[in-house]
Amino acid sequence: MSENALDLQAAMESALDLAREAALLDEVPVGAVVVELKTGRIVGRGMNRRETRHDPVGHAEIEALQDAARNLQSWRLVDCALVVTLEPCPMCLAAAQQARIDRLIYSAEDPKGGALSLGYLLHEDARTNHRFSVQRFEVTECSDVLREFFRKKRQKPL
């Protein structure tokens, strides 16, 4: 395989499939995958499970990073990219930094909760021991699935 075998569209589609699965569980529809950059192989998968697991850190990114670490038998996810349907929160950006990923790719922006939108640029802070690139790769469906989920939530009686 090439030096960088990451197929962004395919990786984001895999993450989007996980987001749709989360919506079926009445979870906020966010999905994430960890991809080996040299092979293009998905080594970790995750979806939001905060509600079903009663877990405050049950974010898709955390689940994908943990799954990848188990599968690769290392917490250091070097030569890997984290691909997620929604801009990560500060906790998830920090987890990506701790996992030593090489790249973060996200689709939908999150102006109220996204680390980048809020100005938490941990991934490029020279004071930290690991930095990585961040890229936005917009796939309209990632925003659409979130918008539809919350539209339905607002219509439900309490």
Q: Would you please indicate which residues are annotated as catalytic (active-site) residues?
A: 61
Closest-CA residue to 31 (of 108, 115, 135, 114): 108
In sign, the C-alpha dihedral spanning 114, 120, 125, 128 is negative
Cβ–Cβ under 8 Å, residues 73 and 51: no
Spatial CA neighbour of 149 closest among 63, 85, 56, 55: 85
